[in-house]
């Protein structure tokens, strides 16, 4: 008897039942031979995304930018940087994507602008400029030092002194990324209006960069020391010496999110429900869950980065998933991600033999998955020669692995020079992976056992199996500590996912009688019926089994 289950996948909006694919636009497809990807390049590759089977793609920033942080330093919220194309290119991309049934999610960078944004140029021009209060300016302490102890994510203090006006301005990231003052109503209105600009152009949703940073302690009190460094998901140097409790997550985030949400909801139509996901590096599940809003009227989804931080073993991964399921407010929908443009490639983090298991996990958990471009190929971090390093995080805080270039290298389309990413002879903005001739879309499409074809199959299975798209999650106890086994169930369907997170064989008994039907496996070497009373998982193996109708033992 299958109880307490969701049934009709079609009644779920696309952002719940679907899969999001993240495109880092510099690295996806170069259409004009300058070595950097662009919007037209994305349009040229839409047929690939359709084939792959994703539902929506999110494009990292393409706004005009001095590129101090490769687009996360925006100098105009209502245009496209010439490097990436034009507004007309963007409109064409939206039209072509929608024609294929693909949703378009764009990055929105609310916490900070570029220091070259006209707003900041005005703001810094004098203490009594009308835009002074659009940013966070404070006098030095009597000894000339910064107003408080806050640190910038990318090294050094979060304050830079403007010599001409004698005050410090706040920047949670680079000095070239001054923080906006969201408590100023004019700032809020200008930003909401920028959202309306893109909503009118037809975007389906937004990814809000560092959404938890926009509201800080109004009194700008010091952060306390972090007595247990190492809690962040990757080495962050001095930044990790503090608990970031004052420089983010102030309670008035909630009414602010509600105002943002109201603008987005006001553009909803029957056929086009809009959506926002917040980039929220909050790891305490209850605090994270609060960002859905008490009335579920804040973030549609606060991004959940817990899997990036979990140790790659079955106990930690299950503990994380269970903690998310437990913390989730009634009616809210979970989400998972295994990699992005700030974090290691999955195959590098978990080891190439586990990459397919990781993909099966991501695409079978209950919750919206985001796939970072190239993960479907099993792309790995690429070692960047020091003289080609680009990322300011790595350049400013060298030697501890903060640089993000290794996970941002060009997409590997085929074995031709420049991997089909850029024309032959062009110098690409970051070097290609050394393995691109054997690890690319063309080669992997032709290999039935590739991670690309596994990803494609799992994406198709989510469409044909409501249990996978929207079904309930239940972990199975009594299996070896090295394996993570769970079911996904709707009223009429139950599938079981058995993942071996080690390179050893494991045997166990499931709490079901009889047999199930193999749907697919990471090795693509299993078919037909499979015993549920005695299961053998090969090293690095994941199996997906239809157990609809199976009886509990």
Backbone angles phi, psi at 185, to 5 degrees: -60, -30
- CA 336-301-5 angle, 5° bins: 75
Stretch that binds ligand TEU, among 23-31, 178-186, 340-348, 370-378 (CB under 6 A): 340-348
Cα dihedral 15, 20, 26, 28 sign: negative
Least CB distance to ligand TEU at residue 356 (A): 25
Question: Residue 220, Cα to own-chain centre: how many angstroms?
Answer: 29
The binder of ligand TEU chosen from 81, 89, 115, 209 (CB under 6 A): 209
Ordered alpha helix ranges (H), 166-305: 185-200, 253-265, 285-289
Q: Rounded to whole angstroms, how far apart are CA atoms 445 and 282? A: 37
Q: CB-wise, 298 or 343, nearer to ligand TEU?
A: 343
| DSSP reduced 3-state for 91 | helix
**How many chain residues are in contact with ligand TEU, going by CB under 6 A?**
14
Q: Rounded to whole angstroms, how far apart are CA atoms 326 and 446? A: 42
Regarding 450 and contact with ligand TEU (CB under 6 A), the answer is no
Q: CB-wise, 103 or 213, nearer to ligand TEU?
A: 213
Stretch that binds ligand TEU, among 11-19, 310-318, 338-346, 407-415 (CB under 6 A): 338-346
The residues, any chain, with a CB within 8 Å of residue 187's CB and separated by 6 or more, are: 134, 180, 181
- What are the residue numbers of the active site? 209, 279
Estimate the crossing angle of helix 355-364 against helix 451-464, to 10 degrees.
10
Stretch that binds ligand TEU, among 122-130, 142-150, 339-347, 503-511 (CB under 6 A): 339-347
Q: CB-wise, 48 or 312, nearer to ligand TEU?
A: 312
Regarding 520 and contact with ligand TEU (CB under 6 A), the answer is no
Least CB distance to ligand TEU at residue 329 (A): 24
Encoded one letter per residue, x for contact with ligand TEU by CB under 6 A and - for no contact, window 114-133 reads --------------------
Encoded one letter per residue, x for contact with ligand TEU by CB under 6 A and - for no contact, window 407-426 reads --------------------
On whether the CB atoms of residues 290 and 253 are closer than 8 A, the answer is no
Encoded one letter per residue, x for contact with ligand TEU by CB under 6 A and - for no contact, window 383-402 reads ----------x---------
On whether the CB atoms of residues 68 and 168 are closer than 8 A, the answer is no
Encoded one letter per residue, x for contact with ligand TEU by CB under 6 A and - for no contact, window 276-315 reads ---x-x----------------------------------
Least CB distance to ligand TEU at residue 110 (A): 10
Q: CB-wise, 173 or 436, nearer to ligand TEU?
A: 173
Written as six digits, the tokens of 42 are 């994305």
Q: Rounded to whole angstroms, how far apart are CA atoms 58 and 369? A: 12
The binder of ligand TEU chosen from 30, 55, 69, 375 (CB under 6 A): 69
Least CB distance to ligand TEU at residue 551 (A): 47
Q: CB-wise, 393 or 433, nearer to ligand TEU?
A: 393
Estimate the crossing angle of helix 253-265 against helix 185-200, to 10 degrees.
30
Regarding 75 and contact with ligand TEU (CB under 6 A), the answer is no
The binder of ligand TEU chosen from 24, 28, 62, 72 (CB under 6 A): 72
| DSSP reduced 3-state for 118 | helix
Q: Name the CA dihedral angle for 426, 427, 429, 434, rounded to a multiple of 10 degrees.
A: 110
The binder of ligand TEU chosen from 173, 208, 413, 421 (CB under 6 A): 173
Stretch that binds ligand TEU, among 182-190, 337-345, 443-451, 476-484 (CB under 6 A): 337-345
Element (H, E) at 516: strand 515-521
As a whole number of angstroms, the longest Cα–Cα distance in the chain is 78
The binder of ligand TEU chosen from 55, 240, 343, 375 (CB under 6 A): 343
Q: Rounded to whole angstroms, how far apart are CA atoms 79 and 70? A: 16
Burial 102-132 (b: 16+ CB within 10 A, else e): bbbbbbbbbbbbbbbbebbeebbeeeeeebb
On whether the CB atoms of residues 452 and 353 are closer than 8 A, the answer is no
Regarding 77 and contact with ligand TEU (CB under 6 A), the answer is no
Least CB distance to ligand TEU at residue 347 (A): 18
- Among residue numbers 216 through 255, which ones bind ligand TEU (CB under 6 A)? 234
Beta strand ranges found along 24-156 (DSSP E): 56-59, 103-108, 137-138
Q: Rounded to whole angstroms, how far apart are CA atoms 123 and 232? A: 33
Q: What is the DSSP letter of 8?
A: -
Least CB distance to ligand TEU at residue 156 (A): 14
Least CB distance to ligand TEU at residue 158 (A): 12
The binder of ligand TEU chosen from 342, 444, 482, 541 (CB under 6 A): 342
Regarding 381 and contact with ligand TEU (CB under 6 A), the answer is no
Ordered alpha helix ranges (H), 403-516: 441-445, 451-464, 466-470
Q: CB-wise, 153 or 521, nearer to ligand TEU?
A: 153
CA end-to-end distance (rounded Å), the chain: 13
Stretch that binds ligand TEU, among 97-105, 144-152, 336-344, 507-515 (CB under 6 A): 336-344
Least CB distance to ligand TEU at residue 241 (A): 15
Regarding 482 and contact with ligand TEU (CB under 6 A), the answer is no
Stretch that binds ligand TEU, among 79-87, 163-171, 341-349, 382-390 (CB under 6 A): 341-349
Least CB distance to ligand TEU at residue 71 (A): 8
Backbone angles phi, psi at 455, to 5 degrees: -60, -45
Regarding 472 and contact with ligand TEU (CB under 6 A), the answer is no
Binding site for ligand TEU (CB under 6 A): 69, 72, 109, 153, 173, 209-210, 234, 279, 281, 341-343, 393
């Amino acid at each position: 008897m299958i109880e307490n289950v969701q049934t009709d996948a079609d009644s779920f909006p696309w952002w719940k039942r679907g899969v999001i694919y993240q495109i880092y636009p510099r690295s996806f497809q170069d259409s004009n031979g300058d070595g950097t990807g662009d919007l037209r390049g994305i349009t040229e590759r839409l047929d690939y995304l359709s084939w792959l089977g994703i539902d929506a793609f999110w494009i990292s920033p393409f706004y005009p930018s001095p590129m101090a942080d490769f687009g996360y330093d925006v100098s105009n919220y209502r245009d496209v940087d010439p490097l990436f194309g034009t507004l007309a290119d963007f409109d064409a991309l939206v039209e072509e994507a929608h024609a294929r049934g693909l949703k378009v999610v764009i990055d929105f960078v609310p916490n900070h602008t570029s220091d070259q944004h006209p707003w900041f140029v005005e703001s810094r021009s004098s203490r009594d400029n009308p835009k002074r209060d659009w940013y966070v300016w404070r006098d030095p302490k009597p000894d000339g030092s910064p107003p408080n102890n806050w640190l910038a994510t990318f090294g050094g203090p979060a304050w830079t002194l403007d010599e001409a006006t004698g005050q410090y301005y706040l920047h949670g990231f680079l000095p070239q990324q001054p923080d906006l003052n969201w408590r100023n109503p004019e700032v809020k209105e200008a930003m909401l209006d920028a959202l309306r600009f893109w909503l009118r152009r037809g975007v389906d949703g937004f990814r809000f960069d560092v959404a938890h940073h926009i509201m800080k302690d109004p009194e700008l009190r010091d952060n306390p020391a972090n007595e247990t460094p190492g809690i962040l998901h990757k080495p962050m140097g001095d930044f990790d010496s503090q608990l970031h409790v004052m420089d983010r997550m102030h309670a008035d985030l909630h009414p602010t999110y509600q105002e943002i949400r109201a603008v987005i909801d006001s553009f909803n139509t029957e056929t086009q429900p809009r959506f926002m996901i917040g980039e929220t590096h909050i790891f305490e599940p209850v605090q994270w869950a609060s960002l859905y809003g008490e009335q579920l009227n804040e973030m549609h989804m606060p991004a959940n980065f817990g899997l990036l931080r979990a140790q790659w073993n079955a106990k930690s991964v299950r503990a994380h998933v269970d903690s998310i399921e437990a913390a989730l407010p009634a009616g809210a929908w979970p989400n998972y991600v295994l990699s992005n443009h700030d974090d290691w490639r999955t195959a590098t983090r978990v080891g190439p033999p586990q990459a397919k298991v990781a993909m099966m996990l991501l695409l079978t958990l209950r919750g919206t998955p985001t796939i970072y471009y190239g993960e479907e190929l099993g792309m790995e971090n690429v070692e960047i020669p020091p003289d080609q390093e680009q990322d300011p995080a790595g350049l400013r805080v060298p030697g501890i692995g903060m640089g993000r270039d290794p996970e941002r290298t060009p997409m590997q389309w085929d074995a031709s020079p420049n991997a089909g990413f850029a024309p032959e002879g062009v110098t690409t903005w970051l070097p290609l992976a050394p393995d691109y001739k054997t690890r690319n879309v063309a080669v992997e499409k032709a290999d039935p056992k590739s991670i690309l074809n596994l990803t494609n199959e799992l994406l198709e299975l989510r469409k044909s199996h409501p249990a996978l798209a929207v079904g309930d999650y239940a972990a199975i106890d009594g299996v070896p500590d090295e394996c993570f086994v769970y079911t996904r169930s709707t009223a009429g369907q139950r599938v079981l996912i058995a993942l071996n997170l080690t390179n050893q064989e494991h045997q166990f008994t499931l709490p079901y009688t009889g047999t199930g039907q193999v749907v697919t496996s990471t090795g693509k070497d299993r078919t037909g019926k499979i015993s549920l009373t005695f299961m053998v998982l090969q090293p690095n193996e994941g199996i997906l089994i239809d157990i609809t109708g199976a009886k509990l033992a």
